[in-house]
């Protein structure tokens, strides 16, 4: 549509310009030619009349008229020359205008082509962006489902944590009161105090455990954790006494090796080096294939006591 409009406008303007220029030139030339013919006819007429008039006054009139005619002839000639020059310039201008109109038409056509190509490229780009946005929307929808599922899982975990905290608060509200109905629960209560760093409460609960369940398999464990709780408080002498009590009461128990190793370390902390070295060596002798035996060898090596 735009290209057709530009071409039609250019053709109409070009044709109109040529037609107007030719008509104007033709009319002006026609009028000038008529005027020139009238002057020639008038000159001939005056010459004839001058030849036929006998008196001097008439001759002077004829001569004056002849001079005016000559002036008019020069004016007509100058006018004709000016017209010719104008006509040449007009034709040149019209030709230049026609060339400029053709150039403008070609330029407008080129612009139309570029606009159409740009519109096509923009349409393709928009289509690509829309497709990309559609993929992003699908990805967001999938992630939203996953987030919803994660949110449900988090809520479930929160509920479980709240329930656990409630039970823990119930246990803590009991203070140092030992559960005497179940030895496993009683031992767990005491050990929880130890893990939380409440060593004094741990000592009390483990002693209560021994009083209530002193004949169970975990009696030596309770004695060991009493010693550990005392040592953690810096009560090394009391801790050493508890290690000795454990070794005396449960010499074949599963806590005997670790208790003897900890006894050696406690003696070293108390700066009783020789006794500590002897305790560590006894671990190697009495429990040669245990983890504590390896730890005792490492400590003796550090002390420079290996091979003595």
CB 183 within 8 A of CB 218: yes
One domain, residues 114 and 190 = no
For 25-49, what is each residue's pLDDT tens digit?
445 445 545 555 555 565 555 555 5
Q: Which of 29-43, 121-135, 154-168, 208-222 has the highest mean pLDDT?
A: 208-222
pLDDT at position 3 is 44
Separation CA 158–CA 195 (nearest Å): 24
pLDDT at position 88 is 86
pLDDT at position 10 is 42
Confidence of residue 199 (pLDDT cuts 50, 70, 90): very high
Residue 263 covered by a domain = yes
One domain, residues 11 and 115 = yes
Residue 212 covered by a domain = yes
Check whether 2 has a pLDDT greater than 80.
Answer: no
Of 90-99, 162-171, 279-288, 289-298, minimum mean pLDDT range: 162-171
Residue 23 covered by a domain = yes
Residue 134 covered by a domain = no
Give me the number of domains the chain comprises: 2
Separation CA 153–CA 157 (nearest Å): 6
- Burial call 38-49: b when 16+ CB within 10 Å, e when fewer: ebeeebeebeee
Q: pLDDT > 90: what percent of the chain? A: 40
Among residues 86, 94, 83, the alpha carbon closest in space to that of 18 is found at 94
One domain, residues 204 and 95 = no
Residue 147 covered by a domain = no
| Domain extent at residue 80 | 2-127
Check whether 146 has a pLDDT greater than 70.
Answer: yes
Single out the residue in 91, 108, 127 at which a domain terminates: 127
One domain, residues 118 and 189 = no
pLDDT at position 166 is 58
CATH number of the domain where residue 278 is located: 1.25.40.10
Q: What is the mean pLDDT of residues 119-144?
A: 75
pLDDT at position 246 is 97
Please give the model's pTM, rounded to 2 decimal places. 0.45
- State both tokens at 280: 């560590």
Residue 132 covered by a domain = no
Check whether 131 has a pLDDT greater than 80.
Answer: yes
Residue 108 covered by a domain = yes
Residue 68 covered by a domain = yes
One domain, residues 211 and 109 = no
One domain, residues 108 and 216 = no
For 208-260, what is each residue's pLDDT tens digit?
999 999 999 999 999 999 999 999 999 999 999 999 999 999 999 999 999 99
Of 37-51, 129-143, 180-194, minimum mean pLDDT range: 37-51
Q: Which of 26-40, 152-166, 282-296 has the highest mean pLDDT?
A: 282-296
Could you give the C-alpha distances from 118 to 2, 3, 112, 125, in angstroms and in order?
15, 16, 10, 10
């Amino acid at each position: 549509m735009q290209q057709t409009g530009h071409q039609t406008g250019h053709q109409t303007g070009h044709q109109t310009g040529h037609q107007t220029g030719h008509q104007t030139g033709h009319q002006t030339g026609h009028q000038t030619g008529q005027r020139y013919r009238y002057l020639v006819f008038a000159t001939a007429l005056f010459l004839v009349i001058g030849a036929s008039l006998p008196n001097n006054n008439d001759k002077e009139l004829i001569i004056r008229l002849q001079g005016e005619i000559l002036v008019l002839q020069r004016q007509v000639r100058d006018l004709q020359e000016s017209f010719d020059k104008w006509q040449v310039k007009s034709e040149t201008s019209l030709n230049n205008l026609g060339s400029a109109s053709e150039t403008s038409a070609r330029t407008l056509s080129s612009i139309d082509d570029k606009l159409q190509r740009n519109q096509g490229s923009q349409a393709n780009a928009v289509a690509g962006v829309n497709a990309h946005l559609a993929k992003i929307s699908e990805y967001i929808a999938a992630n939203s489902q996953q987030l919803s599922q994660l949110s449900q899982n988090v809520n479930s975990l929160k509920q479980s944590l709240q329930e656990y905290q409630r039970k823990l608060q119930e246990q803590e509200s009991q203070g140092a009161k030992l559960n005497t109905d179940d030895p496993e629960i009683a031992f767990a209560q005491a050990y929880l105090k130890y893990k939380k760093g409440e060593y004094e409460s741990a000592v009390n609960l483990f002693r209560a455990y021994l009083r209530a369940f002193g004949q169970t398999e975990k009696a030596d464990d309770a004695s060991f954790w009493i010693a550990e709780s005392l040592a953690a408080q810096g009560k090394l002498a009391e801790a050493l006494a508890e290690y000795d009590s454990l070794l005396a009461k449960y010499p074949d128990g599963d806590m005997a090796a670790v208790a003897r190793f900890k006894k050696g370390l406690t003696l070293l902390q108390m700066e009783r080096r020789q006794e500590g070295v002897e305790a560590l060596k006894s671990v190697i002798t009495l429990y040669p294939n245990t983890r504590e035996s390896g730890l005792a060898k490492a400590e003796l090596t550090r002390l420079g006591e290996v091979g003595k």
